[in-house]
A and B are shown apart, each in its own frame.
Chain A
């Protein structure tokens, strides 16, 4: 069983920025990992605020952020605008989205007791994107009696629909792949592939019905971008993430119990069904709101928990918060890359995430295969 093998695997790869001291034994102290991740987030944060249309010095950034002092840049654009309106929203949003997706990844992997699943991969994210797209296309055509601010792309109902889409797919997969004893379920992966295929075809059908403007909104979803960052969106996702983190202790205990197996969890006094439902709702909430804000970004929920599991071991008490930071770090790096690599144009962040994530996923599968001999 892959899950059990993960518990005994020694850390072979180390996350970026991990110090060179090779730890003997199975785990790196959690506190050290947190420290490295937080330091990395601060480092990338400074770099993100530095680079762009014009390079700001660290001193200039600190002046704007901490002292509220402002001056004009060579571009005749005040530094405060560059930092507060253009760079900080992107940085914060990418961190929030990364944190949300990575945490949701941990939840879904724990729920299905399979470290190789990921919200995008089994159809949860596409489900959210489909629901959001359906809302975009139909809210303006059918719900004409709604006030204008409740229709279309700017309405909070969009987030609600995306959440609903993610939730439906998660529950569906959960029902389909439920097995006595749990563990690696081939049914889950197959069902995920089926869901994905269905979603792709439905999205195709939607794009056939959509008018030009709506069509652009739909294509935006398939690629993902942080260019749409605004403080309003940050508050929305930030609030959702904050609410979910309150449940982390409960989730961690529950997911750890689930890892033992359904029956064992039940005997240790856990209300298994309640934990499962809570996990599904919270993970869907994170995925739905993230995706409805900035489009479909895959693989974050897979890479981050994986690397951290190698370093920290499989305990959710440390894995969940560490993934939160790790996801934030990874997407902040991805967004910085997306907006600087082809300057003055920008690449969709989804392309970068998938470009790193695809090969990495293959590597994981091959590694699992080496350890297991074969998938059973």
Chain B
């Protein structure tokens, strides 16, 4: 028994000596978290991420540990990480527990859509990976853009009704109700969500689309691609017979910019405002 303890202590020695100087090896379990780490200039510390990590291009090339809700403990371990960062969607919960039991540092941040939670996550991750200055800078930039647009939004005389359409591959198109990232972004960009009868996402029905009378159809870029461009959007049931269909107003914005609530949140709000209100109303 003594021998084992001594042996164990010996094995711990190098770890103890190099603990201070040890390079972080980060695995990120969410697209937004990946983007934050790269934006903070620490992308080279990331050794793997999940399938939703689509930006920046360097992040795409890294080893994938699977979809963030269907992770595998051994897969993550094999990348020898010493820090695992994710949002609350990471799972199954049992796998997160297994990783913690293996002695890994796993930090799960809240995933609520909203400007403040997003900024808090950026600051918290910055603090965790030693990039507080960079995090402050990004946060200030987002705050500046956000407050500039918020001021413009407060002066608006009318806001367009926006219908957010979510579409992936062959699956049924869905529209966003309340309490989703899309709903929050429409508000931040100075629009009104055309659908407010339910929470979350629901499959699209032609009557509901016509009844909502949206002025603009908002869709993530990947969704637009999978529908085959604007024509595909207007081919969706009911869309043609709405004001948006008649004026052919479709706004497509990159998925992570639009819904990620990450480092490009400020840019997303600006882009949305710009496309919702192409001619800024004259201040009187």
Min CB–CB distance B46 → chain A (angstroms):
14
Q: Quick check: B72 and A339 within 8 Å, CB to CB?
A: yes
Q: Are B75 and A345 in contact (CB under 8 A)?
A: yes
* A residues less than 8 Å from B69 (CB atoms): 216
A53, B74: Cβ atoms closer than 8 Å: yes
Which of chain A's residues have a CB closer than 8 A to the CB of B75? Answer: 53, 339, 343-346
CB contact under 8 A between A75 and B91, given known A85-B98, A339-B72, A344-B48 = no
Contact (Cβ within 8 A) A81 B102: yes
Given contacts A69-B4, A227-B92, A227-B95, contact A344 B103 (CB under 8 A): no
Taking CB atoms and an 8 Å cut-off, the chain A residues in 324-343 that contact chain B are 339, 342-343
Q: Are B200 and A229 in contact (CB under 8 A)?
A: no
Tell me the smallest distance from the CB of B80 to a CB of chain A, in Å.
Answer: 5
- Residues of B within 8 A of A (CB-CB), count: 39
- Distance A251 CA – B7 CA, assembled complex (angstroms): 54
Q: Is the CB of B73 within 8 A of A75?
A: no
Contact A230 to B66, CB < 8 A, known contacts A81-B103, A344-B72: no
Which of chain B's residues have a CB closer than 8 A to the CB of A346? 66, 70, 72, 75
B202 within 8 A of A: yes
- Which of B70, B80, B199 makes the CB contact (< 8 A) with A75? B80
Task: Give the contacts of A44-99 with B (CB-CB under 8 A).
Answer: 52-54, 69-72, 74-78, 81-82, 85-87
Residues of A212-242 contacting chain B, CB below 8 A: 212, 216, 220, 225, 227-230
Q: Would you give the shortest CB distance from A144 to chain B, in whole angstroms?
A: 18
Known: A54-B78, A343-B78. A228 touches B66 (CB 8 A): no
B102 x A227 contact (CB < 8 A):
no
B15 at the A/B interface (Cβ < 8 Å)? Answer: yes
B163 lies within 8 A of chain A by Cβ: no
Nearest A-chain residue to B66, judged by Cβ: A345
B9 to chain A, nearest CB (A): 12
Among A53, A54, A71, A81, the most chain B Cβ lie within 10 Å of the Cβ of: A53
Q: C-beta contact mask, B79-106 vs A, less than 8 Å → 1, else 0?
A: 1101000000101101101100111100
Report Cα–Cα, A76/B79, bound state, in Å.
Answer: 11
Kindly provide the distance from the CB of B141 to the nearest chain A CB, expressed in whole angstroms: 30
Question: How far in angstroms is the closest Cβ of chain A from B91?
Answer: 7
Q: How far is the CA of A85 from the CA of B94 in the complex (A)?
A: 11
Chain B residues near A53 (CB, 8 Å)? 74-78
Shortest Cβ gap from A17 to chain B (Å): 25
How many residues of A are counted as interface, with CB atoms below 8 angstroms from the partner's CB atoms?
Answer: 34
Beta-carbon nearest neighbor of B65 in chain A: A344
How far is B100's CA from A85's CA once the two chains are assembled, in angstroms?
11
Query: Does B21 sit at the interface, judged by CB under 8 A?
Result: no
What residues of chain A lie closer than 8 Å to B74, measured between beta carbons? Answer: 52-53, 86-87, 339, 343-344
Q: Are A227 and B77 in contact (CB under 8 A)?
A: no
CA distance A77 to B69 in the complex (A): 23
Task: Decide if B11 is an interface residue (CB 8 Å cutoff).
Answer: yes
User: Across the interface, which residues of A come within 8 angstroms of B94, CB to CB?
Assistant: 227-230
**Whole-angstrom distance between the Cβ of B145 and the nearest chain A Cβ:** 28
Within 8 Å of chain B (Cβ to Cβ): is A374?
Answer: no
Q: Least Cβ distance of B24 to chain A in Å?
A: 14
* B71 close to A (CB within 8 Å): yes
B11 to A227, Cβ gap below 8 A?
no
Give the interface centre of A54, A71, A75, A227 by most chain B CB atoms within 10 Å: A227
Least Cβ distance of B97 to chain A in Å? 8
Does any Cβ of B come within 8 Å of A105's Cβ? no
Interface hits, A343-359 → B, CB 8 Å: 343-346, 348
A35 smallest CB distance to B (angstroms): 31
Residues in A106-148 with C-beta less than 8 Å from chain B: none
Q: Which of A146-187 contact B (CB under 8 A)?
A: none
Contacts A77-B77, A81-B101, A86-B98 given; does A72 touch B72 at CB 8 Å: no
**Smallest CB–CB gap between A230 and chain B, Å?**
6
B63 at the interface (CB under 8 A from A): yes
In the complex, the answer to whether A76 meets B15 with C-beta atoms within 8 Å is: yes
Q: Are the C-beta atoms of A344 and B102 separated by less than 8 Å? A: no
Which residues of A are found within 8 Å of B199, using beta-carbon distances? 211
Q: How far is the CB of B12 from chain A (nearest CB, A)?
A: 8
Chain B residues with CB under 8 Å of A86's CB are 73-74, 77, 98, 102
Q: Scoring B residues 122 to 136 as 1 if CB is less than 8 Å from chain A, else 0, what string do you get?
A: 000000000000000
Known pairs A212-B200, A345-B65; A227 contacts B73 (CB<8 A): yes
Question: Of all chain A residues, which has the CB nearest B48?
Answer: A344
Residue of A nearest to B67 (CB): A345
CB contacts (< 8 Å) of A69 on chain B: these are 4
| Least Cβ–Cβ distance between A319 and chain B, in angstroms | 34
B64 at the interface (CB under 8 A from A): yes
A75 to B82, CA, bound (A): 10
Query: In the assembled complex, which residues on chain A have CB atoms less than 8 Å from the CB atom of B7?
Result: 71
Distance in angstroms between the alpha carbons of A54 and B69 in the assembled complex:
23
Are the CB atoms of A77 and B102 closer together than 8 Å? yes
Chain A contacts for B71, CB-based, 8 A: 227
Closest-CB distance, A66 to chain B (whole angstroms):
15
> B76: which A residues are within 8 A, CB to CB?
53, 344
Chain B residues near A229 (CB, 8 Å)?
A: 94
New contact pairs (11) apart from A74-B80, A81-B101, CB-CB < 8 Å: A53-B76, A75-B77, A76-B80, A87-B74, A216-B69, A228-B95, A342-B66, A344-B76, A345-B51, A345-B65, A346-B75
- B residues adjacent to A (C-beta < 8 A): 4, 7-8, 11, 15, 48, 51, 63-67, 69-80, 82, 89, 91-92, 94-95, 97-98, 101-104, 199-200, 202
> What are 8 inter-chain pairs, A to B, with CB distance below 8 A?
A53-B77, A74-B80, A75-B77, A81-B101, A208-B202, A216-B89, A228-B94, A345-B75
Which residues in A have some Cβ–Cβ distance to B below 8 Å? 52-54, 69-72, 74-78, 81-82, 85-87, 208, 211-212, 216, 220, 225, 227-230, 339, 342-346, 348
List the 6 shortest-distance A-B pairs measured between CB atoms, nearest first.
Answer: A344-B75, A345-B66, A53-B78, A53-B77, A346-B72, A52-B74
